[in-house]
Amino acid sequence: MLTPPLTDTDLLSLRAGDAIRISGVIYTARDAAHKRMAELIERGEPLPVELAGQAIYYVGPAPAKTGHAIGPAGPTTSGRMDSYTIPLLRLGVKLLIGKGYRSPEVKAALVENRAVYAAAVGGAAALLARHIRSSRVVAWPELGTEAIHELTVEGFPAIVINDCHGGDAYADGRAAWEERGE
């Protein structure tokens, strides 16, 4: 079980392909929030939340129905955040959660900054939402679902795709597939 804020020690034992569970506070951020954070970093201004040791989930959660903490909350394509990711890793973000491939530059930055990229299962938004106990907007409410939300999660499932040692579960899977001749 990983519980943010995370340290290098929390992540060093993880390897590409490991199943993980996350409990505690994580933050959401998608394209618009990433763009705003990048602008603040470029100007040397503080971010609206302290991200050192934290996890960012690439999701734009749907509105909650009565009696639920949140609506469906499935991952969005991570590569769209690649141009904004490296400065956030340098500020100490330790865990990124989304779906899909990352650029070679982001994978190198994960190693350099001892951080991990994990995938949540796409197409399972309603099931993933069951692991979210509370949600509140903490920055830029005018962005709607792209605002930064603070989520409290319990046993949130993900798979390590890129570990802090350079491992890549997607590359390993492709190699195994090709080895079998499929």
Task: Tell me the catalytic residues.
Answer: 34
> Residue 61: CB partners within 8 Å, gap ≥ 6?
28, 70, 71, 72, 73, 129, 132, 135, 145, 149, 151
Nearest by Cα to 160 from 8, 17, 10: 17
How far apart (Å, rounded) are the C-alpha atoms in residues 51 and 86? 13
Contact 139, 147 (CB under 8 A): yes
Tell the residue number behind the tokens 């569970």, with chain if given: 21
> Quick one: tokens of 115?
């951080």
CA dihedral defined by 146, 157, 115, 30, rounded to 10 degrees? -10
> Residue 72 CA to chain centroid, in angstroms?
16
